[in-house]
Structures are given as structure tokens and as C-alpha cells.
Amino acid sequence: MNRPLICLTLTGKTLAEDLALVNKYRTLIDIAELRADFLDGNERLLVRRFPSMAGIPCILTLRRRVDGGKFIEGEAARTILFARAMSFADSNSKNNFAYVDFEEDFHVPSLQDAALAFGTKIIRSVHDMEKPVRNIAARLAQLRTTGYEIPKIAFMPHSLDDVTQLFKEAEALKDDTHILVAMGPLGTPSRILGAKLDNYLTYTSPEETNGNIQELGHLDPVTLDSVYHFKKIDNSTKIFGITGWPLSATSSPVLQNKGFETHHMNAVYLPIRAEDVQKAITFADTVGVEGLSVTVPHKEKVLDYIQNTDTKVDMIGACNTIVRKNSSWTGYNTDAIGFSKALLEFTGTKNLAHKKVAIIGAGGAARAVAYAVSELRGNACVFNRTVRKAKELADRYGFKYAPLSSDSVNMLHKYSDIIIQTTSKGMNAALPFTEDNDPLYFYDFTGHEMLFDIVYVPERTPVMEHALEAGCKVCNGFNMLKYQGYIQFELFTGEKYNVTDQR
């Protein structure tokens, strides 16, 4: 099949604003969708001009609010606007709309006849903003009322299982003149893997206006091209990914996809959001994912669903990488070695001998950190809100343990040569530091501590800001991510990551 076309969805208030965005992203897109429902009232009367202004094939869409759009004036007004936009067709078809989007219940014979007469293809769409759509093949057949439509089904999944079902049903389809979309953050794989769904096109939005339709989960065209190399994805592309929850921000796709590009590999790495790690593995089995990075909160639970583990996973009790070998999954832990390298660079030491270390948290990441601290000969205390979990982790290595609360301030001061923050608290959080975003909000830094926060988004986390105000030396988790990612790449591909080409 041909690769899916890349369609830029335009949601500006004026045609001039939309045209400027077409010009900015022209080299990255194939067609543009003019969402006329977003235009100011007077601008809607001028949409007929847009295809000739844009100079690329255009889709005309007037989406109703019930279908996730902005148009509220009623069907009679919408019909008139469609008619104005499609009338007086130019003899040069490039100056006419190449496509028009009509919903499944919008049947106006005169408009359909005009579309056929002028060579305008009808995208016959169904949108469900509340729940998934099932029986995909049957619904597509229903949407092809005349046999000339390009049927489109877009729905809001409730879980990753709904996205998995979409891919499963798409396997039985025998054509590439349909559009299948799982919307929202859960549906990102359906946009990146449009070729796997045999989609006719995939929708993107400019970064400048993506907030207008944020609930749809569009990627911007630059990300689609520079991070995911969408134009190179085909049915032979090997698929890898990262799973976690909520996985609202991750730099791993940039790292891994850059590696594939440098090594000239036909592969892609994408985010696969799953509240339950079993759903991620089911998706991977269905779609043919060959390897997964596993992040919070799944690093321990994933052990229940994989068949083989290496010695580090067995010793640490947490897994951050799984690789498909034949028909089974093998688990690895690259966090520990990635953390060790990043920490020693930060501290400027060869080991942690004679250092008293505070480990904040007792989850999957903390397990890898505790293992690394022990291997580096550090003397540590594990602080966690659930004391039972702190004790369980500390006992593995003969460490101390304490509750993560103001009651443990004296103990925290005692183990404060290096403080390692391993929880997800502060991830994607804005400054200033507060009780809600800083796990050490109750602690008065002296300025002598070194703080390593494994969180790397934002670049300066609230607890880092807290420590910086006292004059502490601080570090985020980006280098840890980078170093453990290099090892993951080798596990995924069998080749060492080409670090020299990284900027």
C-alpha cells in the first residue's frame, strides 16, 4: 500500500491564520483540513477561496458540536455553507476542495451530486467522543453508501484494550481507502502506526493551535516527521515502545528513534499508555511489538506477565525492559547501570564508600537505585510513606529505613551526603515547590547535600528548586534515562547505540 497521507488540521479563526500555518508546515504535509467550524462568522463565507490560496489538496470540514466540533447553528445553515464552498467549481480542479467531510447521518443529495460532479471525494465519517466503536468492518461498509466514499471512524477509547481491538479488527480489512482513529492520548499508536491500520491518511495539528482540539490527541507534523519518521513506516517496520501510566511526557522516543535513524534501521519506538501493564503486553502481542521500556508504575507488576528474567531483575525485583524472544518475553533491568553511571558523573566519585545516602521512595525505580547504591558500597536509608515497603527494600541490602515524613528529619539529615529522589512526585509539575509536588517539602536543606532526582520533566523539578535555594548541588534524571536507554537499544536491536551522533 501507499503510506498514509499526512493531513494538517487547521483550526484558526481566519483564513489568513490557517494559510500561514499551511505555508509553515508545507514541506511536511500532503493535504490540509480546513475546519471551517472554527472560523469567525464572516470568514466562513469565504472558504471557497481557500484551496486556491493553499495550493495543496484540501478537505472541507464543518464539524458539529455533537461530533466534537464547534458548529452550533443548525443543519440548514451548515448545508448552505457547504453549498457556498462547493459551488461555482473552477475548471482547474486544484482550485476546488479535493475532499469534503460529511457525517454518516448527513445526506443531502444535491451536495453529494455536486461532489461527484466536481471530483470532490466524500469522507463519510462517524465520531464517538464517549466510547469505542466496534464491528469496524461492518461500520465501514455502512458508511460507503454510494461506493465512492472514504469511510472514517474516530472514537474515544476507554482503555488501551479498545485501541488493541481496533488494530485486531483492522487486520481483516482488505483495502486502504479508510481512516481509523482512536482519539486522545491512549490512541497515539493509531496515529503513528497509520500504515499498520492501512489508513488513507493521518491527522496532525500545528503546535500553535493544537490546544484548540487537545482532546483529539493530534501530534504536530514536526514531531511526526522528526521523532517518529512517519513517512518511512510501513508494514515491515519493527515496532518498539514505552509503557507506563500516565506517561504524559517521555523523552525515550526521541532517544530510541534517533538511534534507529543513525543505524539505518526500519524501526519505530512509540508511547503506549496503559493503566494496567497486562493491557500493554496484550497490545504488544496483537500489534507485533518486539520490545518495551517499562516505566512507573509497572516495573514490579510486569514480572507477573513475562516468562524469563535476567539475574539483575531477579536481584532487584523490578524490570524496566522486556524483549520478545520467539514467542515469549524476557525481562531486564537497565535502570541500575544507567543510574550508577549518571550518579558517579554527578558526584565526581568512583564509588559511594563512606557516603551516607537517602533513598526517597520504595517503588520499582527505588529498587534499582538501592541495588546500585549497594553495589557502589554506599550506606543508605530508605524513606517511604508506606514503612512496610521501605523496610522490605532496606532489608535486602542491610540498609536503614524510616517513614517519609517530618518525623524523620533527624534521620534524613544523618543520611544526607547524597539524597536520591526516586518517586514520580514532581513529574510535569510547575514551580514553586509545595507539599503536593515536593516529597521533601518538610526538609530544610543545609546546602551541603547533593540531590539527584530521577525525574527529568521538568528539567528543574520542585524538589531540585527547593535544594537549589539552599545552595545544594542538584541533578535531574536525564543522564540516567540516556545511559539506561543506550543499553535498552542494544537489547532491542543487538547493536550498540551510536553515541557519537547524539547532540
Q: Which residues are known catalytic residues?
A: 299
**Strand, coil or helix: what is 450?**
strand
| Cα–Cα distance for residue pair 143/372, rounded to 1 Å | 57
25: left (phi over 0), alpha (psi -120 to 50) or beta: alpha
The sign of the torsion formed by the CA atoms of 78, 84, 89, 92 equals negative
Name residue 501's amino acid.
D
**Strand, coil or helix: what is 143?**
helix
Which three three-digit cell numbers place residue 70?
A: 464547534
| Cα–Cα distance for residue pair 309/311, rounded to 1 Å | 7
Contact assessment for residue 294 and residue 303, using Cβ atoms and an 8 Å cutoff: no
DSSP assignment string, 358-398? EEE--SHHHHHHHHHHHHTT-EEEEEESSHHHHHHHHHHHT
| H or E stretch covering 204 | strand 201-204
Sequence-separated (6 or more) residues with CB below 8 Å from residue 157: 132, 163, 166, 182, 183, 184, 186, 187
Which three three-digit cell numbers place residue 33?
A: 483540513
Contact assessment for residue 160 and residue 134, using Cβ atoms and an 8 Å cutoff: no
Instruction: Please state, in angstroms and as integers, the Cα–Cα distance from residue 162 to each residue in 135, 179, 307, following that order.
Output: 12, 16, 25
Name residue 64's amino acid.
R
Pairing of the two strands 289-294 and 321-325 = antiparallel
| Cα–Cα distance for residue pair 277/298, rounded to 1 Å | 6
**E strand segments, 267-320:** 267-273, 289-294, 308-309
| Cα–Cα distance for residue pair 143/152, rounded to 1 Å | 8
317: left (phi over 0), alpha (psi -120 to 50) or beta: left
Rg (CA), the chain: 26
In terms of C-beta density within 10 A (0-12 exposed, 13-18 middle, 19 or more buried), how is residue 72 classed?
A: exposed
Bridge partners (DSSP) of residue 182 are 155
